[in-house]
Each structure stands twice: as structure tokens, then as C-alpha cells.
Amino acid sequence: GIIGINVPSFTDEGVPDRKCGAEWDGDQKGIVAVAHVSALLVPSDTSTGASGNVPLFHPPGAQREGTGDLVGEGKALNPAPVRDDQVPPLSAAAAEGGKHPVPAHGISERLNGSLTSMLHELNNPSPVLLAQEHHQISPMTSAAQGGNHSIPLLKMAERPNIATPRVFLPEPSENSIPGQRCSQADKALLQKVHVALKLVHAEAQTHHVRPHTEEEEDADDASLKDINHLLSNLGADLYEHFSGNAPPKFNIKVPGIGTDEVEEEDYSNDLSHRGRQSKRERRQNGAGTETCVSLAELGLPMALSCMVSSLMEHSPCNDDGGGVYESIGQVEEDLRLMAAEPEKFLFHEANGGIQFSESALYGRQEETAALMRAFEETTTTESSAGSRSSRMVLVSGYSGTGKSAFVRASSGTLAKRGACLVSGKFDAMMQPRPLSAIASALDDYCAILSRDEGRIDGVRNAIAAAIGIDGAILAGLLPNLKKLLIGDDISGDSTSHLMGREAFQRTIFLFRMLLWVTCSKDHPLVLFLDDLQWADKVSLELMVGLVTDAMIEGLMLVGSYRDNEVGADHLLTAYLENIRRSKNVAIVPIHMTNLDSRSINLLVSSALHLAPRATRSLSDVVMKKTGGNVLFAVQLLASLYDEGLLHFSLASRRWEFDVDQIQNKSIADNVVELMTVKLLRLAPEVQEALSVAASFGATCDESLLRVLDRSADMIMTTLISLDVAVAEGLMVKSDTVYRFSHDQIQHAAYLLIPESECKAFHLRLGRLLWKLSSAEETETILFSMVDQLHRGSSLITDSNERVMLAQLSLIAGEMATALSSFLPASSYLKAATELLTEDDWQLNRQLCFDVYNSCAETENVLGDFDAIEGHLKMLLAQAETLEEKLRPYYTLVKSLGAQGGCNDAMNAAITVVNQLGEMLPPLHDATDADVKKEIGMTMKMLAAQDEDSLLNLNTLEGDCAEKHTMRFLHELVFLAYFEKRSYFPIPACRIVRLSVSHGVCRESAAGFGAFGAIHCLALRNFAQGYRFGKLALSINERFQDKELLAKVYISVYSTINNWTEPAQACLPPLKRAVEVGLATGDTEYGLLCAHVHCSISFGVGKELGQLLKDMDMYSQKMLTYNQHRTHLHSRPIHQVVLNLRGYSANPVQMAGKAMDEISLSASKVGSDDCKMFTTLLHFTRMWLEYMFGEYQLAWGSGKDARFWETPSLLIPTWCYATFYSCLTAIAMARLDGEGEYLETIDKTMAQMTAWARATPWNCQNKLELMKAEFAHLKGDHNLAAEFFELSIKLSAKHRFIHEEALALERYGLFHLETGDHSTAYVLLKRAQVCYSQWGALGKVAHINEQYL
């Protein structure tokens, strides 16, 4: 505790008021002095929380006041702590400088008697003891644990009193020393530093507030002498404090003052000055000519020794010209640094080696604050309309600026805030590991989750529910995921029927699902991806998918890259632009520059464990030669150490260096050249090992090296040599992986291989791996082995070895494809095609077909359509039979469809089907008669089948022609549905007939679903359509076929079932289809199901607030997965919801967050999607215009829409088009007369009547409202009221809240027009309530403004 002492206060004139107990006046002119000494030397009793009874004596005449009991001489003082608010500021008189100047005395001058003697008595153990662990602790430390204490008497000198701000530092304890358990000796040493810091702080404040006379202000030389003398005495006091003994020789030469005699002012009346003179004389006369032993030689820390020696000598702490102290404040600053970082400056055991802390940051406060702010926003921000809920931090800068170190050093702070940080690094060597960087990071994440006993059960259940048996697929990339899988999920089938891009999209989705269920704002994840400038396309696509997924909460992605290597045309730039356009991700840029001179000095100081003042001269040279580049600076220091220009002297126990010699030394211009020079000084076998490791990239697994070490010509094992590199700090070993400390070091190690020998070096490594590995090891190291062989493949001359490498490349490509890692698979397969010659098409024919087919398929997945064309041409040219052509033809159809060439794709499919024996009419020559013929033949065949026979059709087995035909017909069905709907029934009917006659397969489900849709849309036979829809679902379930589930469900639940079942029943299956479609990679139909799900949700009156969130989420996914056609078709209804929610200035204008009808209509003119989009646009605008009373505009929009295509979706599109067309025509007829509107009224009412018979749940309430309005038009008010009430009742019963609201509103307007205002008011208020429950706040406001 701090002891409050009552002391003389000043009067207004600055004259001391000798009445010690004077009360404070209103201006707080008094000054309180704080007696630091006894309270600081003896700590509180930490076990009880109470202050110990400290015997403190005060000059005679002391009086009692306020905060403590002051008694006469010889009486004990029971102190009470003084808070900050109990210490008044200096009075104006004292601040301006009164008549009582305070001399610049040292610590000893402040006390009557020798402070040093008192400290010696208090701390009498040998200083060597303080540097040793497990020895007897000092009496001061013992006292700190004891409670009651007794220390020598102290008398306060009578002198003008200076108010000293207090320094609050924690008492040394085990908890105050981070990173290790505090020893008793460390406690004692840290406690001594705390005491010294407080005393020096008090002296600094005393000197700082000393008033000066006019004569003193003119005497600059005298002031300098005072400072020098003050610092010298301070050094002596600190020496005695830490060593326990007075310096044996203390003969200080002050510039301009003789050594035998020091001219001073006459302070004869100052008792403290007499005490100082006595002490100086004792120092000068008591020790003769003995030399002063440094504190370092006594076993105390080098930083303390250097500081004290510099003060006592008032010269540099070494011979290099740095470290001169110019003020007590500088001494205090260094002591404070030592107390704050004791492990670095006090407890470090000097061993003569340079040590760089990976957790330390220098000069990065603003960058750290930005990172932590982004993390806080990620874990606390709630997403809302227009907000960005996710954060991506981009750390950019030149190589060596410390980007990676900055993120790693922040891991501790992030961990304290509950984050889990995992990292992955991309490799300049393009090491062919599938999704290596992201997979490595998330594999570590799975390992961390598996060790979290508090969460593991919940995580396992969540993963099982979300991923299920598909977890086995993901576990191929994330081995540690197996620890989180349950039961059968661990051994689930990792293979599937998926091919092409669907397989890749499935993998992307599985990664996202993993983070959906394991990452949250309560358990945040920081994913650090290093060196994004080397990231491949697949990894970048996955990165974008993760960071833009609104369903992943608590994820902050941090990426680093070299901005000088990333230009406008770089692959990374395009993907970052996609993220910037995202509506739910905010990018936080952090640019890392080189360090300034102060930060470089802190780095050098930390490495040498010296105070920054002692290393300034060296750091200035380092700064000049490196420009502040962190990596360059670190390696330069290491190089200076290696060359002996920076060395640790065991004699003096401190670092020594010659600044001039270092300054004049010729040093490499960049870090790579510097590291190359350093590596060349290593033993040859270590150089060889580093070159081997560098050939595999930034990391190298121990399993590879063990295989290489079996070579007979190895003198020293690679593992032993790399352990030397680890000891040198060039590499880091983690478990079984060796990692270069920096990619520039890896680059320098790779440059040790002469450029002319690089290919031979790689080929030699690949051959050794192939020759020396076992069969089991070959499978494990296959990717690395094939990569090394390919790097030297141009040197292969033996044809057998060349074919062998092509076979290995095919195996590697198939393995990578099985892991959905299509980019490395493509690189292996492309390399294999280059190894095969024209002769191989005859000698190794099957190998050639397998390689080229696999290569074309992976290129289709990656969208490399230029390359795929050449490979397909080669395949079709070399193929001699239809069987050899089928696989490349199928890839061609998929490729043409993916590129938008749907007509070409359909023509190619028709050609192949015809060759397989199923003759189809040409695409553009098919007539209505052809379609009717196909439907008739199919219905005739099905008429002979009952329900049981259809449900139990045989399974189509083997690799027969019919199965290939089914595959091509399946592609044709869905291509025709979107591009040539008039041709759509023909392939659908063929699938059904082939299934009945030859047996069913996976594709049969889609065929029966399409045939059911034909019955509903074209034949209006809803019962038969419903029958075939159920059969399609049964076949899909029979084959447990998730890959085609979304395609089957889109047929059944969008075009079939809502003609028979309540529309609400379609929502859960469609929701599942979305999830399964995305999970299996069928993003096209999965997101088409999402569009239909949102549309039907709107049609059945789902709460608009939640619906808007779903629409925003799915809209983002559509853009992420490049489903632009589906996204375009979803925008009109999306904007309708926004307008109804009140987010548009004009509720009937289709312009806002989701779309702008003017710009979109102009841009889509002439496109393939123009017809459907325009139809949806006019229909949805008509709905809004009618609902908001703009009948004339609604009639115009509906009239335009009728010229376009008939929609296939009953609820809401087709049904609402009919419903609102009728209501609009009736409203216009009441304004203008029936005239032109009657035809529309009759036609739409007849249509709705037919639908109401087929699906009364979905359509009857709408028909009753149409009848009510028509009766009102005809003037039959009683009948109109009856229909209005029936419509309201049915809407409520069928849970169509929005249509109940509309019926109530129209009924209210009916009563308003008939003069029954009270009834109208009640009905309109009820309508408002229903609209509010629906979430249509815009309609609530509209009714209020227009009618209430």
C-alpha cells in the first residue's frame, strides 16, 4: 500500500505553513507528500489482503490527520492506503516556483541518513543468490510472506515537499510472470526492480518539478553538470541496491569540475545534503583503488548491469557509442520495460545465442487493433438487411515484412477471446496436394475439436446429422475428421456416381456444412491462409464459398499475400473482387510495411535481451542495411553472429560488437542472397538435405525422407542433417513435418541446386521414391513421387519408364478425382498425355483412352473448355468403335451444355441415341404429331401395367446399350425443358418406355417425373400426373440416389403435387432437395429447388421477414455457384417481397435491392432467358399494382404478360397470374364498363373453376373472391357478401393469411362503397392485422393512409 503522510502545506505566497494538520482549502492548495519507502519495500500480506504493520517514524511534532495515525518520535504508524483522488494537484504557487528551490539531489539526498545502508540491511543476501534458482530466498522475500515486519528507522528530512504522483505496479508473484512458474529468486529480483522503479520515478518527478531561479535558467553548463552528477549518483545508488554493497571505487569526473573537489551550492542547512556528502566520502575513501565489479559478474541480468554501469560511468555501456542516459526519465523508462517484460530482460539466462520471439510484435499496434476489431465485429455483429455480417482480413505487403508473423503473434490474444486459430500455407512449388492449404488448416481444426472434451459429443452429433455418411468423403481430405464421425459414418462409402463439376461442388458444400455445425459466434474460428498469391483456382473457389456463406457464423478468414506480385490480371484479384461484391462480407485491409527505426531497435533489444537504449547504435546499422524489412533484419543479425561480428563475451557476460566494422562490411542486397551465403557456410551434407527438402516445397514430411535415406549412397541421413538446420533456425519441425522458417529461406535452399541440374535432381528423387518405397508407402507418397518424376520427365529416354510414369500419373489423377481435387488431378493427367506418343495408341491403347478421357472429364469440371476440345478431338479420331466413343461423347454433351451451347448439346445427344438404336426425330424438325405419337405410345404401354408391376419393374443391369441410352436421354430431358420445351416430351417418353421394357435405372426416376409433369402441364390429367410423380419418388428411393434427387424433386414438387396436395406440403421436400442438391454438387437443380421453395413460400403466405432472409441467403448462393439464370428468375418475386415489406419508395415499381426492371429488361433483350424473365416481371408487377390500387397499370402489365410463355409453376406464378388478371379486369370493368374486359373475366374464372375442382385447398378461396368481385360488378350485393365471407373463411382455414387479408380488404372496400362505413372500418382493421402478421408492412401503411 501507499502511505499518506501529512506534511507542511504552502500558503498563497508559497511560504510553508508549519501547521502540519492544516485542513485543505477549496482550491486544494496544500500538497501531500507520499512516503514511498517503507510501503514499497515491504509488500502487503497477500494472503489476507491486509497491509502489514510497518514501523515508520516521523519527525517530532507530527500531528494526526485524516488518513492515518501520525504520532510522535518513537511511536509506530498504522498506515492507511491513499487513493489517487486523495492526492491534490500542486498549488499554483508551487507550480510557478516559490522561494524554496529544491536542489537536484540523488535518491540519497531525499533521506536523512544513508538510503543505501538501509537497502543493504534490508537486502543483505549475496546478489549471486538472486540469479540462482532453488537457493535460500532473501530476507525481503521472506518478509513478503511473513506478515509483520521490522525495518531500520527512517527519518523524513525537513525540506520543501513535492507532491509525487504514485506508480502502481503489481507485487511480484507467480501470476505476474507470464509463460513460466516464478522461482523464489525471480520473485526477489523482480521485487527489487519494482522498488528501484518507484524510487527512480519519485526522483524523476522531484527533479521535473524543481523550481528554478532566473540565475539557474541562464546557467546551462551548471544544469548539465547537475544532471551528470545526478545520474552518476543514481547509478551508484542502484548498484548498491542490487548488489547489496557500495561500489568499492566511485570517483566520478564531472565535465568542467575537478576530481578532487566539487563545487556545489551551499546546502549546509539541508540534512539530506550532509548525508549525501558523507556517503560520497565513504565511497571515495573506503575502497582505495579497487575496481568496480559489474552486476553481470555478480550473476545479475545483463540488462540491469549495462544500465547501472552506464549511469555510474556516465558513458556508453559498451565501446560502441550507444546507451548514454540523458535524464532520469530515460532510466525510469528502461526499468519499467524490464519490470513489464521480466522474462526477456531479467530472467533470461544468457547462453550466448540470439533468440527471436515468435510471439513478439514491434510497431504493429494499429494493425493489431484492426485485426482485433474485425474479430469482435465477426463475433458480435448481427446480420440484418444491408449489413455485412462476415469479415475477411487481408494482410498485404512485400515479402519479409512480417505478415505471417503478425497473424501468428496475435494467436494468443485471439485465444483469450475464445477463438480457435488454424492456418494453412500455399506453396510456390505448387506442391500437388489436393486443396493442401485449406485442407491442412481444417484438418488441424478437426484435431482440436476432437480434443475438446466439453464439446466433442455435441460436435459429433451435429456432424452426423448434417453430413452423415458423406463424412467419409470429406475424411479423405481431412483425416482427423474420422475422430468426429460416429459408427457407420466412419466407414461410409467414399465413392459415388457423381462425375464432373457436381462432384467438385459436393466437396465444396461438405466443407461448408462442416463449418455450419462446428463454428459459431460462441466458438469462433479464425482461418489463416498464408501466401494467397500462390493459391490455385479450386482453393480460391472454396475460400470464396466459405467466407460468403451467410449460414457460417463466427468465421473470420485472414489471408496474406504479396501485393507486389498480385496485379489486376492475377487470379486472386478476380476472386477478391467477387468477395467485395458480396452483400454479407466486409473486407478489412491491413497493409504491412517495413518497420521504422524504433521498432527495429525493439527487435534487436529483444533478441539480445538488452534495454533498447543499449542497442540503438547496432539497430541503426541494421536499419540502414535492411530498410526495416523484418526478415532481412533477423537474418542479418544471425549472419553477424555467425561471422563473429556480434558475439557474447563470457568474460563480461554481455554482447559485444564493433559498429564501425559492421557498418563497413559488404552485405548482400536482399535476404535471398544473404541466406544463400549463410547456407554455403554449412556442411555439404546439410546443404544437400536442405536442397532435398526445398525440392518438395515449403514443407516436407518425414516419411519421404525416410524412404530417401535408404539409398546406399547416403553418407549422413537426411533427417539428421535437417535436424542441424532446425538447430540453426532455418527449419521448424512439428510432429513429422519439417517446415522452412520462411519461404525465402526455402527459395535460397532451392537455389543451391545449379539451374542446369534441377531436372536431373528432381528425377533422381522421384526414381529413389519409386524404387525404395513399399507398396503401402507408394500409395501414401504417390503425389509427391509423381510430382518429382514429372519435373524431370524431359530427361526420360526409356519408353518403358515413360509408360510407367503415365500409368502412375493416371493412378494419381484418379486418386485426386476421388478426393474431388480436380486441379491436381488435371495436372497429373495433362502431364500423362504429354508422355504418350502416337505409337502408344496401338501399343497401350486402353491406357491412352483412360488417360485422355479422365483428362477431358477433369477439364470439364474446371471449365477449361479450350483444352477439353483438343482432347475430345483426339479421342474421337482414335476411336474405332461406338463403345470407345460413348465416354468422350458424354463428356462433349456435358461440356456443350455447361458452355451454353444447349442446341449443339441436344443435337450431339440425339446423334448418339440414334446410333445406340433409339431413333429420335431431329431437334428442329419434330412436330406436334411426333410429340403426340410419343405420348400415345407411352400411355398405351403403361395401360397394360398395374401399380404393383410398375413399382416392381426389373433393374437394368450391366454396362449395356440401354443404360448408355438412358444417360444421354436423361441429359436431353433437362436440356430440352429449358431450351426447347416442345421437344421435352419425346426423350421423357423414351425413358419411360425403356424402363418398362428393359428395366429401371437411376435415370428412370427423372423420366417418370418428367412424364408426370407432361400430364399436368399439357394433358391437364392431374390424377395421372400425380401417379407418375409418386412412381418417380419410389424409384429414386429404391436406388438411394441422392445425386439425382434434386432433379426428381423439382419435377414432382414444382409441377405435379400442388395440383393435388396442399401447396404447404411441398415445402419440406423442396427444402431437403436444396440441401441434398448442394451437398451432392448438383448446384444447378439444388438452387432451382431453392427458387421454387421461396416462390411457393410466398404463395402460401409465409411470414415475409423470414422469407426475405431466405431469399437473401439463396440469392447469394446462386451468385456464388454461378447459377445466373436461376438468380435472374428469382429476382422479381424477391423485389415483390421487398416492396411489401416497405423497402421501396414506390411500392408498385420493380426497382430496389433485388432488381431494377429498366436496366434488367434492356440487358436481357434477345437473350435465351428473356421470355421467362419478362413473363415473371410483368406478372409480379401486376400483383403489386392491383394490391396497391393501381388498376389501370395492373391491366397494362397483365396484358403484356399474356403475350409471353405460360409458366410451369402453379403456386404462385400461374395461379396468381390468373387470379389477379381476373380481379384487375373486374376492377377496370367497374371503371370503364365491361367491354373489352369481359373476355378476360370469363376465361380466367373458367380456368380457376377447373383448378378448384382439382385442388380445392389451393384454389377454392381464390375462386370465391373472384365470384364476390364479379357479383359486386353485377350489382348483386347479397351474393357478393356471401362470396366475400366464404373466401375469408376458406383463406383462414387453409392458412393463407395474405389472401385472408386481401379478402378482408376487398370486403371492407365493398362496404365502404355501399355506405356501411362502420363495417368497412372493422373489416379494414382486420385486414391490417392480417397484413401485419404476414409481414407486409407496406400494405399496413397503405391501408392506414388510404382508408383509415
Q: Give the pLDDT of residue 1208.
A: 64
3-state secondary structure 611-654: CHHHHHHHHHHHHHHHCCCHHHHHHHHHHHHHCCCEEEECCCCE
Residue range 824-842, pLDDT digits in tens: 888 899 999 999 999 999 9
- C-alpha grid cell, residue 1270: 364479379
Work out the pLDDT band at 1160, boundaries 50, 70, 90.
low
DSSP per-residue letters across 156-184: E--S----------PPP-GGGSTTSPPPH
Q: Which of the pair, 736 or 16, is modelled with greater confidence?
A: 736
Supply angle C-alpha 1027, 1032, 1033, rounded to 5: 100
3-state secondary structure 756-772: HHHHHHHHHHHHHHHHH
SS3 570: coil
DSSP conformational letter for 123 = T
Tell me the residue type at 980. K
Cα separation of 579 and 587, whole Å? 8
Indicate whether 121 pLDDT > 70. Answer: no
Indicate whether 252 pLDDT > 60. Answer: no
Helical (H) or strand (E) element with 155: strand 155-156
Work out the pLDDT band at 1228, boundaries 50, 70, 90.
very high
Mean pLDDT comparison of 179-188, 226-235, 449-458, 1329-1338, highest-scoring range: 1329-1338
Helical (H) or strand (E) element with 16: strand 16-17
Please, are residues 299 and 132 in contact by the beta-carbon 8 Å criterion? yes
- The proportion of the chain whose per-residue pLDDT surpasses 90, expressed as a percent, equals 39
The least confident of 225-234, 482-491, 1035-1044 is 482-491
Give the pLDDT mean for 476-487: 85
Work out the pLDDT band at 1256, boundaries 50, 70, 90.
very high
Q: Which of the pair, 525 or 981, is modelled with greater confidence?
A: 525
Cα separation of 1308 and 1323, whole Å? 5
Mean pLDDT of the chain: 78
What does the longest C-alpha to C-alpha distance in the chain come to? 130
Q: Give the pLDDT of residue 734.
A: 83
Q: Give the pLDDT of residue 328.
A: 86
Please, are residues 1077 and 1086 in contact by the beta-carbon 8 Å criterion? yes
Q: Give the pLDDT of residue 356.
A: 77
Give the pLDDT mean for 444-449: 93
Work out the pLDDT band at 986, boundaries 50, 70, 90.
very high
Q: Could you tell me how far CA 208 lies from the centroid of its own chain?
A: 49
Work out the pLDDT band at 1100, boundaries 50, 70, 90.
very high
Q: Give the pLDDT of residue 319.
A: 40
DSSP conformational letter for 318 = S
Supply angle C-alpha 1181, 1184, 1187, rounded to 5: 150
Place of cell 452483400: 583
Indicate whether 862 pLDDT > 50. Answer: yes
Cα separation of 1142 and 701, whole Å? 59
**Which residues, listed in sequence order, are joined to residue 395 by a DSSP beta bridge?**
560, 590
SS3 43: coil
Q: Give the pLDDT of residue 182.
A: 62
Indicate whether 81 pLDDT > 60. Answer: no
Cα separation of 471 and 1014, whole Å? 38
Q: Give the pLDDT of residue 1047.
A: 93
Residue range 712-760, pLDDT digits in tens: 877 668 889 999 999 888 898 988 889 898 888 888 999 999 999 999 9
Work out the pLDDT band at 981, boundaries 50, 70, 90.
confident
654 backbone dihedrals φ, ψ, rounded to 5°: -155, 165
Please classify residue 860 by burial: count the beta carbons closer than 10 Å to its beta carbon, then call 0-12 exposed, 13-18 middle and 19+ buried: buried
**Which residues, listed in sequence order, are joined to residue 731 by a DSSP beta bridge?**
740
Mean pLDDT comparison of 298-307, 985-994, 1202-1211, highest-scoring range: 985-994
Closest CA to 234 of 221, 252, 256: 252
Give the pLDDT mean for 1175-1192: 92
Residue range 390-433, pLDDT digits in tens: 789 999 998 888 888 899 888 888 998 989 999 998 887 765 56
Give the pLDDT mean for 1047-1053: 94
- The proportion of the chain whose per-residue pLDDT surpasses 70, expressed as a percent, equals 76
Q: How many residues does the chain have?
A: 1348
Cα separation of 134 and 793, whole Å? 63
Residue range 612-650, pLDDT digits in tens: 888 888 999 898 888 888 888 888 888 888 888 888 877
Cα separation of 250 and 285, whole Å? 9
Cα separation of 530 and 396, whole Å? 10
Mean pLDDT comparison of 148-157, 378-387, 1091-1100, highest-scoring range: 1091-1100
Q: Give the pLDDT of residue 965.
A: 95
Give the pLDDT mean for 157-182: 40
> 620 to each of 593, 609, 646, 674, 833, how far by Cα in Å?
18, 17, 14, 19, 57
Residue range 272-331, pLDDT digits in tens: 343 444 444 444 444 444 567 778 878 888 888 888 888 887 644 444 444 568 888 888
The least confident of 486-500, 682-696, 726-740 is 486-500
Indicate whether 85 pLDDT > 80. Answer: no
For the beta carbon of residue 321, count every other beta carbon within 10 angstroms.
Answer: 13
Work out the pLDDT band at 228, boundaries 50, 70, 90.
confident
Give the pLDDT mean for 845-851: 96
In this structure, the dihedral spanned by the alpha carbons of residues 185, 189, 190 and 195, taken in order and rounded to 10 degrees, is 140
Indicate whether 1247 pLDDT > 90. Answer: yes
Q: Give the pLDDT of residue 155.
A: 31
β-strands 654-657, 646-649 pairing: antiparallel
What is the chain's alpha carbon radius of gyration, rounded to the nearest angstrom?
43
Cα separation of 1292 and 527, whole Å? 49
Q: Give the pLDDT of residue 817.
A: 82
Indicate whether 1038 pLDDT > 70. Answer: yes
- C-alpha grid cell, residue 640: 553477424
Q: Give the pLDDT of residue 1015.
A: 93
Give the pLDDT mean for 837-863: 92
Indicate whether 595 pLDDT > 50. Answer: yes
Q: Which of the pair, 474 or 1283, is modelled with greater confidence?
A: 1283
Cα separation of 1071 and 1069, whole Å? 5
